[in-house]
Each structure stands twice: as structure tokens, then as C-alpha cells.
Amino acid sequence: MNSTAIFINIFALSCLIGAFIKDRAKTKQSLKVAVKSFFRILPTVLIIIILIGLLLGFVPQTQISKVIGKHAGFGGVLVVALLGAILHIPSLISFPLAASLLKSGASVTPVAVFITTLTMIGMVTLPLEIKELGKKMALLRNGISFVIAIIIGIVMGAIL
Amino acid sequence: MKENVKEKQRKGMKRETILLVVTLIITIILLSIFPDKQEAVTTASWKFFIEMILILPAVMVLMGLFAVFVPKDMVVKYLGKTAGIKAVFLGILMGALPTGPLYVAFPMASALLKKGAKISCIITFLSAWACIKIPQEMVELQFLGPRFMAARLVLTTVFVVIMGVSIERLIEWSDKKESKSMGGKDDASI
């Protein structure tokens, strides 16, 4: 078990203890929610883990780094940004996926862009967003998010 | 409406389980055609599985705690009555705490809009909800490391604030233009 995993578990445990001292009934309810959401997300997690295995096993690193590696052009970043905007997968899953891309030869910029567009922009949920917030606000939010995702990615690529 | 959500979740889970089975079958077929890839694929998957399973229960506990201790109506109540630059940062904080996919936040944002909350605050709320949730950051920490996580967190916060303020300005500006072209009623429509 690495130190990050230990830290995360200790953090969760101390939150749990704090909550338990504050309100027992609510904490019990939280644990019920936790168990439910664990089993709800498990199939998706397993699918992504299998896909990561296939990606790392089958796709050669040179192929990935050609498209979204250090020396790849801006086109790769745009493709990844669009992919992130269209795909509709839970954000929790986006991080292992991103890690596997990094491991297989992608550079920081496209990976950061991918995470940001994946989480912030939702083509699938855009109609709902327009219905709830109006066309102007929904389109502005998604459009500007796309631009800032790319800026965030470029800055991260420069500093990391 | 709650029944509806439950029904949807059940359907979604069924679909994902079927998808998992299909993925497994395809993988098994692929690996039997290419036996030399078997080891690479299984070691990679196993490594990611272990890394995930070590933190997933903890992340779910955090999500459960936030879901119960930070109820939605509380978020709407707090954000609805805060003004100024404070609202922008409270938007980020309130977006980072509760859990759920982004489409859960849209009705909340709509309620905030009707309550007269600032647009910049609603935008920062939605963006924080989308990509800087605390349990989510834990997963990022585990898989991408502290430097990546911290850099993305800081950059996202900065740019989300900029975006919130600019969208607010843009919408105010275009509303003003519209109301002027309608006969100079100015701010009466708001």
C-alpha cells in the first residue's frame, strides 16, 4: 500500500470518526449511501480497468506518443479535448484512465486537457443544461470551459 | 421525482453490468487470439485494480458523508443569499463539497438563478461541482500524484473564477443590449 492510499484512508477514517461524534444517525445513513454508491460504480470501474489493460497491452507506446506525446502537435490536443467533451463517463474514472495514458507515452498537456473537458463539458447533458439555465448561459459555460481546458493543459505541460 | 431517479439508476446499473460482461467476453476472445499479450494486459489491469480498490471504499465513505451532511437545499440556501466576491469563492466551496454527477447540479443552479444569485457564483459552483470535488481529488492524488493534482486544482480555481466573472459580464451586457433594443426599458426586465 503506497503512502497516498494510506493518507486517503486515514483522511476518510478521521472524517468518519468526526461525523460519528457529531451525529450518529446521519453517519450511519452516510455509510449506507457509501455502500450503495460503491456497488453502483463498481461495474464502470471494472470496465475501465479492463480497457486500461487492453490499452497498455495492445497499443504500442510509440503510437500513443505520436498522437498525444511530447512532440505531437496541437491537433492531438484538440482531438483529446473534443473526445473529453463528448464522452460521458464518471469523473472518478477519468483519473485512472488519464494515468494509463501518461504511462503509455502521452504528455501532461493532453492528459490535463482531457480530464478538464471530460469533467466540465457535457455534450450529452447539454440539452438538460439549456433547459435549466437557458441557452446563453449553457453555451457560454461549455464554450469557455473548452478554451480554459486547453489553457490549463498548456500551462500544466509547461510547469510539470 | 425521487422514484424516477431510482428507476433511472437501476436501469443505468443494469446497462453497465451488461457492458461489463460484454467487455469481459471481448477481452477473453482477444487474449485467446493474441496469447503473447495476455501477461501485459493482465498485469496492467491488475495493477490499476489494486490501486483503485485500496482507495475506492474510502472515497465512497467521503462521498456518502458529504451527501448526507451537506444537503442540497442547504447549498442553495447559502449561495442564494451571498453577494459579491465572497459568493464566487463560496460557489467553489459549495460546488466542491456535495457529490453526484453534473446533471444533478443543473436543477440546483436553476433554483439559484431564480433566487437571484449572481451568475459568476453559479458558474463557479457548477465548474467546481464538475471538476474539483474533494473525493474526486483523492482519486487524482492516488493516480496522478500530488504535483499534478495541486497544479490542476490551483489552475482550475483561477480560471474558473475568471470564467465566472466574464460570463456574468457577457450576459449582463447582452441583456442590456436586448432591453435597449426593445425600447429602452433598461433594467426593468431584471
DSSP B130-150: HH--HHHHHHHHHHHHHHHHH
Mean pLDDT, chain B, rounded, equals: 87
How distant, in Å, are the alpha carbons of A19, A141, B90, B112 from that of B80? 26, 20, 11, 6
Mean pLDDT of chain A: 92
User: Which residues on B lie below 8 Å from A50 (Cβ)?
Assistant: 23-24, 27, 45
Instruction: Look at residue B163 and tell me if it is in a domain.
Output: yes
Residues A30 and A87 in one domain: no
Pick from A16, A42, A58: which residue ends a domain? Answer: A58
Residue in chain A closest to B24 (alpha carbons) equals A50
Number of alpha helices (DSSP H) and beta strands (DSSP E) in chain A: 8, 0
Same domain, A53 and A132: no
CB contact under 8 A, B68 and A29: yes
Quick: pLDDT tens for B8-27.
777 888 888 999 999 999 99
Which residues form the domain of A156?
A: 61-160
Q: Is there a single domain that holds both residue A129 and residue A79?
A: yes
Q: How far apart are CA A91 and CA B112, in angstroms?
A: 24
Chain B CB contacts of A47 under 8 Å are 16, 19-20, 23
Asked whether the beta carbons of residue B60 and residue A38 sit closer than 8 angstroms, the reply is: yes
Let me know if B83 is exposed, middle or buried by CB neighbors in 10 A (0-12, 13-18, 19+): exposed
- DSSP state letter for A59: S
Say which amino acid occupies A144: I
From chain B, pick out residues whose CB is under 8 angstroms from the CB of A133. 106, 109-110, 113, 122
Query: What's the CA gap between A95 and A89, in Å, rounded?
Result: 11
Instruction: Please write the tens of the pLDDT for every residue from B37-89.
Output: 999 999 999 999 999 999 999 999 999 999 899 888 888 888 887 777 888 88
What local confidence, expressed as pLDDT, does residue A99 receive? 94
Say yes or no: A107 and A35 in one domain: no
Per the structure, how many domains does chain A have? Answer: 2
For residue B144, being part of any structural domain is answered with: yes
| Complex-level ipTM | 0.91
